[in-house]
């Protein structure tokens, strides 16, 4: 099955009992048993399993070409639950510019449980190799990253991880399984903030995990059921509804993003543009090798913090907000919003300048988006 067909026909389609073509919302906590332990469809309690959530979990499993899928209450719940696979005394190597929430949970929460982390530029697999310690259990990569769209070679890093007996975990939020399926390149676990492109409509907070083996499936289900950070049936349904149009949306985000990139390239007020679809982007070749598309996230430098603030004030169709991946275009200033908590020197080291503007390109008419950026960039 091709990805666009899988979005519609993957997982569990509709309802066996009634023929309903949309999976019903099983708003239920417990299930009648036929005698003690006599479960009718394997369901006993909705933290352990719920038919609506299960339909979503089967769908994301199919989309990511994995062995099993799991749905959580947020992307951070998904990531934290995956980290619960590791014992006290373990160590994880992560991409240096991972999502801020991932950095926070590793350095301010999981460190308290004795799970240590090292952050390196994973776009060079050699750095991963050098960061591996005796107690390292996993490599966690995000590709591309936010806001500089740095790309990590999933196959190269998984090869290093396998050599050392480590798990490879990939945060696939930015590219989605429509364009990129990390398990096909050697990853063991894929995590998502489904709040972003998968949901796609800025109306649900959710997280997903996909694993590549029966052993990992059993371990993740054990944590999901024990810790209990599950996604409810309403939100599971909403997410399945969003995923049906993921292909159409991702195609359109990409078409619009490419138009905006070529407009920015011609604009003299814009200095640097970060987009993996550009040939001169350092991660272009790797992105082209492992992804079928480059996505709808762009960041660019307008020269100064003051100028950037003016652009954000002047835009009409780009909503000033954190988050990304929705039908509406969003705009943000990483140095003063998502990355404000990072010290200025560290930001400079990473290349997150004061004039850096990040946009999540929506699916509005491109003519309107270009005209809007044009007027916002005028002095």
Ligand X SMILES: *Cc1c(COP(=O)(O)O)cnc(C)c1O
Positions annotated as catalytic residues are 47, 99, 171, 196
Across the strands, what pairs with 70?
209
Kindly tell me the sign of the dihedral angle through the C-alpha atoms of 368, 371, 374, 378: negative
CB of 212 to ligand X, least distance (A): 20
DSSP notation for 109-171: IGGGGT-EEEEE-TTSHHHHHHH--TTEEEEEEESS-TTT-----HHHHHHHHHHTT-EEEEE
Is 76 one of the binding residues for ligand X (CB under 6 A)? yes
Q: Which is nearer to ligand X, 229 or 373 (CB)?
A: 229
Total residues contacting ligand X by CB under 6 A comes to 14
Residue nearest to ligand X (CB): 75
Residue 12: Cβ-neighbour burial (10 angstroms; 0-12, 13-18, 19+): middle
Using CB under 6 A, pick the residue from 13, 24, 101, 263 that binds ligand X.
101
Q: Which is nearer to ligand X, 31 or 143 (CB)?
A: 143
Task: Pick the piece of the chain touching ligand X (CB under 6 A) from 98-106, 259-267, 309-317, 364-372.
Answer: 98-106
Q: Which is nearer to ligand X, 98 or 216 (CB)?
A: 98
The length of the chain is 379
Is 291 one of the binding residues for ligand X (CB under 6 A)? no
Q: What are phi and psi of 299, to 5 degrees?
A: -130, 150
Kindly tell me the sign of the dihedral angle through the C-alpha atoms of 136, 140, 146, 150: positive
Is 281 one of the binding residues for ligand X (CB under 6 A)? no
Q: Which is nearer to ligand X, 92 or 376 (CB)?
A: 92
Task: Pick the piece of the chain touching ligand X (CB under 6 A) from 10-18, 95-103, 250-258, 341-349.
Answer: 95-103
Task: Pick the piece of the chain touching ligand X (CB under 6 A) from 191-199, 293-301, 313-321, 339-347.
Answer: 191-199
Is 207 one of the binding residues for ligand X (CB under 6 A)? yes
CB of 358 to ligand X, least distance (A): 11
Using CB under 6 A, pick the residue from 139, 205, 246, 333 that binds ligand X.
205
189-193 vs 167-171, strand pairing mode: parallel
DSSP notation for 300-343: EE-SSHHHHHHHHHH-SSSEE-S---SSS-EEE-TTTTTTTTS-
Using CB under 6 A, pick the residue from 53, 61, 91, 196 that binds ligand X.
196
Task: Pick the piece of the chain touching ligand X (CB under 6 A) from 11-19, 82-90, 94-102, 257-265.
Answer: 94-102
Indicate the DSSP class of residue 335. T
Is 74 one of the binding residues for ligand X (CB under 6 A)? yes
Token reading at 295: 């996505």
Task: Pick the piece of the chain touching ligand X (CB under 6 A) from 192-200, 209-217, 276-284, 347-355.
Answer: 192-200
Is 96 one of the binding residues for ligand X (CB under 6 A)? no
Is 171 one of the binding residues for ligand X (CB under 6 A)? yes
Token reading at 344: 């200025």
Is 193 one of the binding residues for ligand X (CB under 6 A)? yes
Is 173 one of the binding residues for ligand X (CB under 6 A)? yes
CB of 97 to ligand X, least distance (A): 10
Lay out the site mask for ligand X across 11-30 (x = CB under 6 A, - = otherwise).
--------------------
Using CB under 6 A, pick the residue from 26, 99, 119, 179 that binds ligand X.
99
Residues within window 126-145 making contact with ligand X, judged by CB under 6 A? 142
Report helix angle 366-377 to 246-266, nearest 10. 40
* Cα separation, 122 vs 357, whole angstroms: 24
* Cα separation, 371 vs 28, whole angstroms: 49
Is 75 one of the binding residues for ligand X (CB under 6 A)? yes
How many Cα atoms are found within 13 Å in the side-chain-facing hemisphere of 277? 21
Q: How distant, in Å, are the alpha carbons of 18, 146, 180 from that of 46?
A: 21, 35, 31
Task: Assess contact for 187 and 212: CB atoms under 8 A.
Answer: yes
**In 3D, which of 102, 198, 149 has the Cα closest to residue 334?**
149
Task: Pick the piece of the chain touching ligand X (CB under 6 A) from 61-69, 73-81, 175-183, 226-234.
Answer: 73-81
Q: How distant, in Å, are the alpha carbons of 33, 137, 255, 270 from that of 377?
A: 64, 47, 21, 9
Per CB under 6 A, residues contacting ligand X are: 74-76, 99, 101-102, 142, 171, 173, 193, 195-196, 205, 207
């Amino acid at each position: 099955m091709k990805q666009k067909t899988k979005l519609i026909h993957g997982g569990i389609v509709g309802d066996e009992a009634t023929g309903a073509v949309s999976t019903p919302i099983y708003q239920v906590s417990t299930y009648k048993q036929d005698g003690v332990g006599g479960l009718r469809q394997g369901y006993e309690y909705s933290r352990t399993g719920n038919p609506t959530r299960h339909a979503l979990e089967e769908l994301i499993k199919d989309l990511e070409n994995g062995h099993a899928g799991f749905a959580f209450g947020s992307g951070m719940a998904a990531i934290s639950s995956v980290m619960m696979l590791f014992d006290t005394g373990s160590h994880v190597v992560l991409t240096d510019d991972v999502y801020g929430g991932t950095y926070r949970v590793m350095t301010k929460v999981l460190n308290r449980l004795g799970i240590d982390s090292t952050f390196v530029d994973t776009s060079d697999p050699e750095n991963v190799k050098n960061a591996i310690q005796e107690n390292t259990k996993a490599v966690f990569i995000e590709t591309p990253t936010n806001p500089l769209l740095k790309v990590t070679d999933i196959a190269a890093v998984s090869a290093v991880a396998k050599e050392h007996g480590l798990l490879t975990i990939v945060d696939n939020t930015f590219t989605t399984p429509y364009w990129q399926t990390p398990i096909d390149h050697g990853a063991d676990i894929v995590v998502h903030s489904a709040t972003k492109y998968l949901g796609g409509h800025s109306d649900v907070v959710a997280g997903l995990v996909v694993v590549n083996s029966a052993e990992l499936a059993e371990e993740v289900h054990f944590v999901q059921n024990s810790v209990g950070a599950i996604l409810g049936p309403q939100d599971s349904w909403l997410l399945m509804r969003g995923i049906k149009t993921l292909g159409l949306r991702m195609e359109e985000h990409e078409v619009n993003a490419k138009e905006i990139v070529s407009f920015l390239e011609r604009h003299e007020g814009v200095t640097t543009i970060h987009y993996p679809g550009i040939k001169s982007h350092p991660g272009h070749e790797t992105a082209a090798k492992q992804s079928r598309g480059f996505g709808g996230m762009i960041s660019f430098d307008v020269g100064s913090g003051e100028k950037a603030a003016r652009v954000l004030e002047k835009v009409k169709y780009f909503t000033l907000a954190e988050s990304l991946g929705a039908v509406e275009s969003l705009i943000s200033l990483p140095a003063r919003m998502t990355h404000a908590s990072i010290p200025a020197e560290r930001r400079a080291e990473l290349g997150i300048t004061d004039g850096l503007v990040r946009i999540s390109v929506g699916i509005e008419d491109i003519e309107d988006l270009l005209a809007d950026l044009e007027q916002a960039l005028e002095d």
